[in-house]
Structure 1
Amino acid sequence: MPLVKAGYVVLDCAEPEKLAVFYKELLEGEQTDATANRVEIQGADGTRLAFRRDMNATPPSWPRPENSLQAHLDFVVEDLDEAERRIVGLGGRPVEAKDAPGPYEERGFSDPAGHSFTLRRTPGTAPKQG
């Protein structure tokens, strides 16, 4: 067993309960723990995220070129269009950004609290026909 194991990716936000619902639904997961200032979830694939209350949290302003991305989440999907519809339905929004260089088709989004994340098409997936 390793000395140190990965725990959670933690996002600061003003309303952790609401943001946890967004990611729980997106990842088809479940809430695993909650306190007054933190909510933890685990996605169906085992991804563990936590949301910590910070009343002064401000999201990064990416993709504006003068500001850094800071940190973001990457999710892998087979159908970008279907995933985008789900994200928007849950309260997320697409982010205007240039096409990413490299072999993967990607789309950028922000969650309801403004944190950036990317959907990447599963490598090796054939393009849609028709």
Structure 2
Amino acid sequence: MALVNAAVVVLDCAEPEKLAVFYRELLDGQDGEASANLVEIRTPGGFRIAFRRDVNATPPSWPRPENSLQAHLDFLVEDLDEAELRVVGLGGRPIETKDAAGPYEERGYADPAGHSFTLRLVPPTAPKQG
């Protein structure tokens, strides 16, 4: 029997209710567990993310060097332009970064509380030739 049955990504922020709305809309999620200091959402695919109240929370400064990245989320999308319009429409903002090396196109953003995340293009799944 597994010792750990589930995992939840938890982001600290000053206003968990407001940040939960941003991610619930972005991920087409549903409300999950909630208390005075924690709000959780669940996505149709089973991903769980929660937001914990920390009135002293300060967002990371990444990509500026004075603070570490801490952690960030990657979301796989089929259309970067469409996903970017949704992120910005919900209150997220693009983060100025250089193009990432590698075969997949990606773009960096910050949520309304300043947590960074990446939209990464899902690579096409064409059958191998030969």
- Establish whether TM, by shorter chain, passes 0.5: yes
Tell me which residue corresponds to 2:111.
111
* Deviates further, 65-74 or 113-122: 65-74
Shift of 1:66: 4.0
Residue 7 of structure 1 deviates from its aligned partner by 1.8
* 1:67 positional shift: 3.0
C-alpha separation between the residues in 1 aligned to 2:67 and 2:85?
28
Partner of 1:70 in structure 2? Answer: 70
Q: Which residue of 2 aligns with 1:120?
A: 120
Number of residue-to-residue matches in the alignment: 126
1:62–1:84 Cα change, 3 Å: same
| 1:1-130 correspondence runs (5 A) | 1-124=1-124
Q: Give the SS at the match of 2:109.
A: strand
Cα pair 1:75 1:119 within 8 Å, conserved: yes
State the 1:124 CA deviation. 1.7
What is the alpha-carbon distance in structure 2 between the residues aligned to residue 9 and residue 3 of structure 1?
18
With over 3 angstroms needed to count, the CA separation of the structure-2 counterparts of 1:125 and 1:99, relative to structure 1, is farther
**Distance in structure 1 (CA, Å) of the matches to 2:79 and 2:22:** 19
Q: Which runs of 5+ in 2 are unaligned?
A: none
Contact 1:78-1:125 at 8 Å conserved across structures: no
**Where in structure 1 are there 5+ consecutive unaligned residues?**
none
Q: Distance in 2 between matches of 1:99 and 1:40?
A: 32
The CA distance in 1 between the partners of 2:125 and 2:83, in whole Å, is 15
Q: CA deviation at 1:10?
A: 0.2
Q: Larger Rg: 1 or 2? A: 2
